[in-house]
Structure 1
Amino acid sequence: MARHASELGRALADELGPDFTQKQLGAEVVFKHLDPELVQRHFSWAELNEILTRGSVEPAEMTLYAEGKHLPEHEYMVTRAGHRVLDLTQVFSLMRSGASLIIDSLDRIHPAVRSATDDVMRIIGESTSCNMFVTFDDSRAFDSHYDEVDTLVVQVIGTKRWQVHGPSEEHPLPEYGDSDPRHCPKAVLFEKTLEPGDVIHVPRGWWHTVRGGGASSLHLTFALARPTGYDWLRWVAHQALHRVEVRQNLARTGTAEQQSQAEQLVAAFVNEAKNLTVQDFFDAARRGAGGRDSAGLPWDVLNTRPSADSIVELATVLPPLLDIRDERTVLTARDQEFALPIAHHAACEVLVRERRISIGELADRSSTPVAAVSVLVSALLRARLVTVTDRLAQQADSWRAS
């Protein structure tokens, strides 16, 4: 498994331990504690203020909630010079009145949070995103509710009061489930005021009631989108697209015709499903695993080879699959196979294991000439499997927590 990119990712992996994913994820509430200073190195009031000062959080999304209600955008957004931007006077006025600020997909705009989010994905092995919640006093954004994904909550600043009630039905989905707050179970299974550094895992479908715990609260929620049986069924249906009966138009009239077509579709799906397993689904997802479409200028355009001091980093969140076939080294990622000379295999192994390393160190560890490693990195760069930066760029990136 590749190394983690951030201090927070490494700390979470150590604190959660090897049994979390196999035994506790999705099955029970888990409480852990991290060093508050370490957590706050990944996000702070200063960085939130910088984001809000821009006037826009795109491509992330910002919303305000109060007492379970989504406040309409026109109450805190204005048009200036043809662009929709935040009206911070209105934002802060609403927050003084009890509104909570939420930034969905914070990982899309903040490098340190992005690195930590990708690390959580490496720990769990599932798609992950990160949302941020800011609450003041004892306000609450939502009524008692459950999430349709497993979550990992990290309290960054201030305190927040949590009650976890457990599930009212098994394994709800966005497409299926009763989310009426009146059906929240009365019993409280876990209750605690989270403080900076505290971490809590809440399984999918477990109701919780959350309120601000004092003057202010800022926490990050990592949403873990784990595949379900519904996802497998949809994947099987997609695999059946080569069957003409699946692609043809449905009959709008004629009871006999409709019944015959339905029987053909059921048969086509069942025949396809018989030849596929759940592991086939996971294997296909692993082969297609990609990453964020990161820019690495000037190296993305330059024709010159990167030097020994340049830093190469895998662009895929999960390590590419590495294999040897027909005397060639084959890297599989993004649903593509990249065949390379067998002489590059040792360097590929080190890169997949280390994830981020200088070209010179990669050459040393793989006993490969620097020039050959530079050629390899250039090829992987063109395939969008890696990014390349120089050491000065790494030092200048103040938002990166590595």
Structure 2
Amino acid sequence: MVFRHLDPALLEDCFSWAGLNEILSRGSAVPADFFLCAEGKRLPEHQYTVSLDGHRVFDLPRVFALMRAGTTLIIDSLDRIHPGVRAATDDIMRITGETAACNLFVTFDDAQAFDSHFDEVDTFVVQLLGSKHWKVHGPSEEFPLPEYGDSDPVNCPDTVLFEKTLTPGDVIHVPRGWWHTVRGGGETSLHLTFAFTRRTGYDWLRWAARQALSRPEIRESLDRAASPEAQRAQQERIIEAFLAEAKNMPLEDFFGAERRASGGRDLASLPWDVSGAHPAGEDVVELVPVLAPAVRVEGEHVVVTAADQDFALPVGHHPAIEALVRARRLTVAQLAAQAGAPVASVSALVAALLRCRLVTVSGADAARRDSERDR
């Protein structure tokens, strides 16, 4: 367990009642997942939505009545629809190197959404508003996975290792597999749970099995009609072939393959996406891949690898590419200054990277907002 306290003012740009009200007012949280939960059970959707023009939308009077009766409102994958939460989630992915997502929990009074349970992922819990009472019990088994683990509440350890009512600015890290019992703190509560999925030996085994497909023993059909002795012999051939390949597949290669495959969110950059115009010096360019893409020089080209694709650009752009990977977000003029290149040249590079979906571009007003937030 890790506990920290942040200045609540730092969280204002992340999420607030205003952000939640905007989502509810538009009637849908798609592509995020919106649901209500009480006493460990998820409520049927028909209890809080209505059909409108062939679509299911929130029935706000029902939603609010159910919450007054003790249900908790949850939005899974809030990072898909809210810019501030998306930025925080992407930062967590960069910090941990793992895939992450963010869920929102809204509770009134002392409501309890779930029975005592554990998650198969590590979580950072950030209390935004109000209070929430947490008991953390520790694990009942090592390293549970969605495919392996017994989450029956009867297995929750009796011993409480950490107990605290979280207030705005409080942050805790709950490791994968650690049981916890959570209840409203007697008032309103708004908290975010950032979940990140750490890679395991199971992930490496699946990756290694794919890499071993060059061996015919791995690809051959299993002989269902063979004798038990023949089937054991085939099994031994498969095991020997896999081990021969797997010994030459270090974890470093696995992490490297993940980095090369890593991409980013598919975000729009209008009007540039359609007009093809080069951005101006005051416009903001931001790198799309969440993890830093691999960059290498090959002869007359600098090659950027992201989402399992190689993008080759003239080698003269190498300083600008390195500066963009390092800074991630800056104006075109700032990028040109750091690369020691003309603004026009860097603007053309940004336009090319935008066509490759490697960057997004936003107008000068985004730079002004960044400056105001920094102050």
Q: TM-score, normalised by structure 1?
A: 0.88
User: Which residue of structure 2 aligns with residue 49 of structure 1?
Assistant: 21
User: Which residue of structure 2 aligns with residue 106 of structure 1?
Assistant: 78
Cα distance in 1 for residues equivalent to 2:284 and 2:365: 10
Of the three residues 339, 344, 348, the one matched with 1:375 is 348
Q: Which stretch shifts more, 70-79 or 229-238?
A: 70-79
1:395, distance to aligned residue in structure 2 (A) = 5.8
User: Which residue of structure 2 aligns with residue 231 of structure 1?
Assistant: 203
1:401, distance to aligned residue in structure 2 (A) = 7.2
State the one-letter code of the partner of 2:139: P
User: Which residue of structure 1 aligns with residue 129 of structure 2?
Assistant: 157
Q: Are the aligned partners of 1:160 and 1:194 in contact in 2 as well (CA < 8 Å)?
A: yes
State the one-letter code of the partner of 1:91: V
1:380, distance to aligned residue in structure 2 (A) = 1.1
Cα distance in 2 for residues equivalent to 1:265 and 1:73: 47
| Correspondence 1:365 to 2:338 | yes
| Correspondence 1:133 to 2:125 | no
User: Which residue of structure 2 aligns with residue 88 of structure 1?
Assistant: 60
Cα distance in 2 for residues equivalent to 1:246 and 1:302: 50
Q: Are the aligned partners of 1:112 and 1:401 in contact in 2 as well (CA < 8 Å)?
A: no
Q: Are the aligned partners of 2:34 and 2:76 in contact in 1 as well (CA < 8 Å)?
A: yes
Cα distance in 2 for residues equivalent to 1:328 and 1:127: 31
Deviation digits for residues 111-137 of structure 1, max 9, x if unmatched?
A: 111011101111112111000001111
Cα distance in 2 for residues equivalent to 1:335 and 1:356: 22
Q: Please, which runs of 5 or more residues in structure 2 have no aligned partner?
A: none
Deviation digits for residues 179-204 of structure 1, max 9, x if unmatched?
A: 11111111111111000010000000
Deviation digits for residues 365-392 of structure 1, max 9, x if unmatched?
A: 2110112111211221111111112113
Q: Give the alignment's Cα RMSD to 1 decimal.
A: 1.9
Structural mapping, 1:109-124, within 5 Å? 109-124=81-96
Structural mapping, 1:3-402, within 5 Å? 29-256=1-228, 258-392=231-365
Query: Secondary structure, in 3 states, of the residue corresponding to 1:301?
Result: helix
Q: Are the aligned partners of 1:138 and 1:213 in contact in 2 as well (CA < 8 Å)?
A: yes
1:303, distance to aligned residue in structure 2 (A) = 2.7
Relative to structure 1, is the Cα distance of residues 78 and 245 closer, same or farther in structure 2, using a 3 angstrom cutoff? Answer: farther
1:393, distance to aligned residue in structure 2 (A) = 5.8
Structure number with higher relative contact order (C-alpha < 8 Å, ≥ 6 residues apart): 1
User: Which residue of structure 2 aligns with residue 24 of structure 1?
Assistant: none
Q: Are the aligned partners of 1:117 and 1:129 in contact in 2 as well (CA < 8 Å)?
A: yes
State the one-letter code of the partner of 1:81: D
1:394, distance to aligned residue in structure 2 (A) = 5.9
1:251, distance to aligned residue in structure 2 (A) = 3.3
Query: Secondary structure, in 3 states, of the residue corresponding to 2:120?
Result: coil
Q: Which stretch shifts more, 217-226 or 261-270?
A: 261-270
Cα distance in 2 for residues equivalent to 1:324 and 1:380: 17
1:265, distance to aligned residue in structure 2 (A) = 2.5
Cα distance in 1 for residues equivalent to 2:40 and 2:135: 16
Cα distance in 1 for residues equivalent to 2:373 and 2:309: 31
State the one-letter code of the partner of 2:159: A
Query: Secondary structure, in 3 states, of the residue corresponding to 2:118?
Result: coil
Relative to structure 1, is the Cα distance of residues 282 and 241 closer, same or farther in structure 2, using a 3 angstrom cutoff? Answer: same
Cα distance in 2 for residues equivalent to 1:353 and 1:280: 23
Q: Are the aligned partners of 1:42 and 1:401 in contact in 2 as well (CA < 8 Å)?
A: no
Cα distance in 2 for residues equivalent to 1:166 and 1:255: 48
Deviation digits for residues 146-202 of structure 1, max 9, x if unmatched?
A: 110000000001000011111111111111111111111111111110000100000
Q: Please, which runs of 5 or more residues in structure 1 have no aligned partner?
A: 1-28
State the one-letter code of the partner of 1:186: D
Q: Which stretch shifts more, 371-380 or 133-142?
A: 371-380
Q: Are the aligned partners of 1:40 and 1:157 in contact in 2 as well (CA < 8 Å)?
A: no
Query: Secondary structure, in 3 states, of the residue corresponding to 1:308?
Result: coil
Between Structure 1 and Structure 2, how many residues are aligned? 372
Cα distance in 2 for residues equivalent to 1:43 and 1:353: 27
Q: Are the aligned partners of 1:107 and 1:129 in contact in 2 as well (CA < 8 Å)?
A: yes
Query: Secondary structure, in 3 states, of the residue corresponding to 1:300?
Result: helix
Deviation digits for residues 280-339 of structure 1, max 9, x if unmatched?
A: 100111111111011111111223222212211101111212222324322121112222
1:45, distance to aligned residue in structure 2 (A) = 1.0
